[in-house]
Every structure is written in structure tokens, then in C-alpha cells.
Amino acid sequence: MTLLIVGATGTLGRQVARRAIDEGYKVRCLVRSNKKAAFLREWGAELVRGDLCYPQTLEAALAGVTAVIDASTSRPTDSLTIKQVDWDGKVALIQAAKAANVERFIFFSILDAEKYPKVPLMEIKRCTELFLAESGLNYTVLRLAGFMQGLIGQYGIPILENQPVWVTGASSPVAYMDTQDIAKFAIRALSVPETQNQAFPVVGTRAWSAEEIINICERLSGKDARVTRMPIGLLRSVQSLLRFFQWGWNVADRLAFTEVLASGRPLNAPMDEVYTVFGLDKQQTATVETYLQEYFSRIMKKLKELDYEKTKNKKQKDKKTPFKQSSKVNSQ
């Protein structure tokens, strides 16, 4: 089976690629830059230049492909809008996959997308699910809540560096999941017939509020967080203002997602039946506590090593300094 993985250089996509390669699949990755994707080639993947926003590049990439796993999404640094990448690009990919007679299509959506029609990314995800279901492809939709990897930049690093931790409104508890565990579900779906033409929640072991995450980070780092609350009303005002400028549309669409995170409604779903269908063991799924503990253990160890080296170098420098001064006095 040959897999085409789209978005393989991203936080989730690289874990999907790694898992597929480790399980013996022939992996092809659609990439915009061979240089940035060099690590995928080193892992054993085939790289094919292409871009969702240029449909003419997709036909060659899909030649001989058995299944597509789409982990792509627009990034904050992209000049393109969410609509251009997450809607126009996905529609082009699904149509091209259908034309290429691809046997399976795995799509990552967002949990509860149908509950937020005014949030652009959520509405686009909902519409893409419908478009995929009506395409005639054999598909599986995995509805995610949040990545544990994102907790490091949002909470871990700011707390370690004594920088503000931004929290909005009534923080919605989120069932974060390690992208390595999400990758397990994506690859397993390829070999489990019961997952065809179905949508499943794929979320962590429990939902965590921002305050709970901050408490864990404080305990593990030994530092106090500088929590700054951003009023949701202010964010809405900024979002409305940005709508007046074309260059601000992408930022405005992303700010709209704060409505989800500040709604107070948990992003979570029961997973027992999902584990049964996929034949995976829930006990092997990483928890937020263990994930953050491993991160802080590594970083605190590294900081101690750097502090030790700094102290050692300072002592050596202090030993040399008196000698130099003494030599200078004697010469005079």
C-alpha cells in the first residue's frame, strides 16, 4: 500500500509519516519545499513537490497511491487565507483523489465543528466532512480536540521564561492528545474495515482547563505563572476591526477560534467504543501529566547542566584573572 501524506512537515503530519514508515508502509509526502522536508526523506519517505492551492500539481503526486492521509492546514505565517487552504485546497485534493481512484481517504477534522457555524475554521471543517462523505471515496474522519505539543509554547515556555501566559474568557476544558497517539488511530484506520465511511472523536483521556494546565506547569517548573486574562469582548473588537482590511482577514479568522476556547464548553467526547473499534489500548495513551512531566524533566535537567557549565567557566575565569593582574603589576 502506498500512502500519500499531505501536511507531513507539520506537528501532526510528521508523526503520521513516522508511524506509517515504522509500520512498513510505502510513504509519499506532498511538500512545498524539499529542503524543509529533508528529514522525511531521511526517515525513508518519497518527497513529491506540490501544493493544494495549485490543483495541477496533485495528479502526479496521486499516481499509484492507495490511500491519502490529509494532515494539512493553513498556518498563522501563511499569506494564504484559511478558506484558500482548508476549503479550496481540500476540495481540490478530494476531487483529485477521486479521479485517481484512491481507495481510502483519512481526514482530520475538529470536534464539535457543527456547534460553531460563525467560526470560519469550524464551519470549513464541517463543510469538508460533508463534501468528503458525498465524494464517493471510502473515507474516515477523525475529529480532534487539541495537541499536547501546543501546551509547551502556550504554557510551558512562557512560565519558564517568566513571560505572560494569556488566558481568554471562561476557559473551555480541552481533551488534549499527543500527536503520536493520534497517528496510531490514523494508521490503524487503514486496516480496520469498520472505520470506513465513519467519523470518530479522537481525544485525550480527560479535558483540562487552562488553570489546571498552569498549575501543573508551576508545580513541575517550580515557577509562578504570570497569568494575563484577555477579555473576550476586546478580542471580538479587534477581530471586527481586522475585517476591514484584506491583510487582516487571515488573522481575524484565527481570532474567531477564541470563541471556541472561551465558550466554557468542554472539547471532549467518550472514547471507550472508539478504542474498541480501532483495537487500541487506552492504557497506552499518553496523559497530559506524563507528557508535561517528561518535558519539564528534560528541560530542567538541561538548565541545570547549562548552569553548571556557566558556574564552572566563571570559576576558571576568576582563577586566571588574579594571575594576569599580578603579572601586569610586576612588569611595572
**Dist. CA 159–CA 199, nearest whole Å:** 37
Q: What is the pLDDT of residue 229?
A: 78
For residue 112, what are the contacts with CB-CB under 8 A and spacing of at least 6?
A: 122, 143, 260, 265, 267
Amino acid at 63: A
Residue 274's closest CA among 188, 177, 200? 200
The neighbour count for residue 125, using CB atoms within 10 Å, is 26
The alpha carbons of the chain give a radius of gyration, in whole angstroms, of: 24
**Dist. CA 227–CA 238, nearest whole Å:** 21
**Dist. CA 91–CA 27, nearest whole Å:** 22
One digit per residue, the tens of pLDDT, for the chain of length 332 reads 999 999 999 999 999 999 999 999 999 999 999 999 999 999 999 999 999 999 999 999 999 999 999 999 887 656 678 889 999 999 999 999 999 999 999 999 999 999 999 888 899 999 999 999 999 999 999 999 999 999 999 999 999 999 999 887 677 899 999 999 999 999 999 999 999 999 999 999 999 999 999 999 999 999 999 998 776 655 555 555 445 544 444 554 555 667 777 778 899 999 999 999 999 999 999 999 999 999 999 988 887 776 655 665 665 666 665 544 444 444 44
Q: Is the pTM of this model over 0.75?
A: yes
Burial class of 325 by CB neighbour count within 10 A (0 to 12, 13 to 18, 19+)? exposed
**Dist. CA 136–CA 94, nearest whole Å:** 10
The neighbour count for residue 49, using CB atoms within 10 Å, is 13
**Dist. CA 89–CA 56, nearest whole Å:** 11
For residue 78, what are the contacts with CB-CB under 8 A and spacing of at least 6?
A: 85, 250
For residue 190, what are the contacts with CB-CB under 8 A and spacing of at least 6?
A: 1, 3, 25, 67, 104, 106
Q: What is the pLDDT of residue 255?
A: 55
DSSP state of 205: S
